[in-house]
Structure 1
Amino acid sequence: MQTALVTVGDELLAGDTVNTNASWLAEQLTGRGVAVERVTTVPDCVDDIAAVVGEYRDAYDAVIVTGGVGPTHDDVTMDGVAAAVGVEVTPHDEALASLTEHGGYAADDLTEGTTHLPAGARAIHNEVGVAPGCVIDSVYVFPGVPAEMRAMFASVADEFVGEEPHTAVVETPEPESRLLDRLAAVRERYDVAVGSYPGDGVRVKFTGTDEAAVEDAADWFRDRVEPAESGASAED
């Protein structure tokens, strides 16, 4: 399963807010064996959201969009997603019922930003906040508030399934530039993904769906590099 992540918000692009949603979702998806192929941040602009979501919807099995969901003037994500799939944003009975019958909100206190969704979407109840998320076609839309997004993802996590990944890590104090021959050799020898992350030394990560192949690749590489000192750790 291949996915793309789209995070929405002027505050992300300005550096006012750290984009923790993207890293958290990527970690969750990767842990479930789902490949994250793209992570893109767009402003609070309907046209930009529609363009990116439309492109990724055609290219990947699923698209997760976070941010820009709610009642304020810059919460335009639902409009952008609706435009991407060619529908209108309309009153949604399921979203309204969830808020009034289960959330305890009075209908008169709710705005279009919390009761309107793209036509034909499946509502995802917000267990932590107010504004609902939704699923339409292969596009999942969550609020940007981290606690709300995480709870909402948990409610649909079983819809994201891939082959269980296996990883192994080898750390070495050798500089990355001196490891090029052995990095090339291990990649040619074993059918696993190899990532090299320099810092105080180098951390080399081996990943694949075949546990034996991952361990064999790590063992082969470990035997050919200078070992890290006991208790030392090479950081990204």
Structure 2
Amino acid sequence: MKTAILTVGDEVLAGDTPNTNATWLAEQITAHGSTVARILTLPDDRQLIVETVDDWNDRFDAVVITGGLGGTHDDVTVDALADVFDRELVVDPAVREDVLETAAAYRDANPDLVAEHDLDLDLNAWASLPEGARAIINPEGLCPGCVLGTVYAFPGAPAEMQALFETVAHEFDGDVTSRTLYTPQPEGSMVDVLAGVREKFDVQVGSYPDTGGLNRLKVSGEDGNAVKRAVEWLEIRVTVDRVV
């Protein structure tokens, strides 16, 4: 299963907000045995999002979007998804009820702040999703996520995105397994060995510099036995500190 991750937000591109969502999602998707084939960040530009999702929807098994959901002026991701799938935006009664309850709980917990700023939310704007989308109720915040075909959309707030992804994480279960070897050897000293393991076994091997004086060799593949044999082969030919 090849997945593409799209993060949306002017603040991410400006460097105002670190893109921790993409890193977290990539780790989770990989841990579930799927492959992350693409990561991209776009501004809050409805047409750019439409063009990208439309292209990726044909090229990847799943597309995960985070950011740009909600009822503020720069939240255009849901509108873009409606455009991609040629759907109208509709309000699901259950989603609206959840948004209403979340907003009421916030008002009860912050009466002075609400009174000072006259917070009056457009509940329909926050609860609108493309017609036919599978809604994912947000246990951590106001805005729901949704699934439309093989496109998954989550809010950009990390705690909310993580909570919503965990409800559908099993849908990213795949056959890819990985083992990581930690070694003090310089990368340049392992060129021939890494070429040999790729030639001998049906696996992918990545070599990455790490902190603490140890480099990482990550062995991945859809055949768990091939990964196991490749790791054992490397352990004989590389100085290994530990394998995880």
TM-score computed with the length of structure 2 as normaliser = 0.84
RMSD: 2.2
Q: Please state how far the C-alpha of 1:78 moved relative to its aligned partner.
A: 0.6
Counting matched residue pairs gives 227
Residue 57 of structure 1 pairs with residue 69 of structure 2: no
Partner of 1:75: 75
Q: Please state how far the C-alpha of 1:31 moved relative to its aligned partner.
A: 1.0
Residue 220 of structure 1 pairs with residue 233 of structure 2: yes
For 1:103 and 1:198, locate their aligned partners in 2 and report how far apart those are by CA, in whole Å: 45
Partner of 1:48: 48
Instruction: Mark the runs of 5 or more structure 2 residues left unpaired by the alignment.
Output: 106-119
Partner of 2:220: 207
For 1:75 and 1:220, locate their aligned partners in 2 and report how far apart those are by CA, in whole Å: 51
Letter in 2 for 1:179: M
Which secondary structure does the structure 2 equivalent of 1:39 belong to?
strand
For 2:233 and 2:127, locate their aligned partners in 1 and report how far apart those are by CA, in whole Å: 57
Letter in 2 for 1:139: V
Q: Please state how far the C-alpha of 1:226 moved relative to its aligned partner.
A: 3.8
Partner of 1:185: 196
> 1:109–1:167: structure 2 CA closer, same or farther, 3 Å change rule?
closer
> 1:143–1:206: structure 2 CA closer, same or farther, 3 Å change rule?
same
Q: Is the 8 A contact 2:183 2:216 kept in 1?
A: yes
> 1:149–1:187: structure 2 CA closer, same or farther, 3 Å change rule?
same
Which secondary structure does the structure 1 equivalent of 2:217 belong to?
strand
Letter in 1 for 2:125: G
Partner of 1:14: 14
For 2:91 and 2:214, locate their aligned partners in 1 and report how far apart those are by CA, in whole Å: 56
Instruction: Mark the runs of 5 or more structure 1 residues left unpaired by the alignment.
Output: none
For 1:159 and 1:226, locate their aligned partners in 2 and report how far apart those are by CA, in whole Å: 38
For 1:104 and 1:48, locate their aligned partners in 2 and report how far apart those are by CA, in whole Å: 31
For 1:227 and 1:128, locate their aligned partners in 2 and report how far apart those are by CA, in whole Å: 42
> 1:34–1:226: structure 2 CA closer, same or farther, 3 Å change rule?
closer
Which secondary structure does the structure 2 equivalent of 1:223 belong to?
helix
Q: Please state how far the C-alpha of 1:169 moved relative to its aligned partner.
A: 2.6
**CA deviation profile, 1:49-78 (whole Å, cap 9, x unmatched):** 111111111111211111011121111111
Q: Is the 8 A contact 2:207 2:218 kept in 1?
A: yes
> 1:221–1:114: structure 2 CA closer, same or farther, 3 Å change rule?
same
Q: Is the 8 A contact 1:168 1:218 kept in 2?
A: yes
**CA deviation profile, 1:114-155 (whole Å, cap 9, x unmatched):** 121112212111111011111112111110001111111112
Letter in 2 for 1:203: R
**CA deviation profile, 1:68-92 (whole Å, cap 9, x unmatched):** 1112111111111111222232333
For 1:68 and 1:82, locate their aligned partners in 2 and report how far apart those are by CA, in whole Å: 13
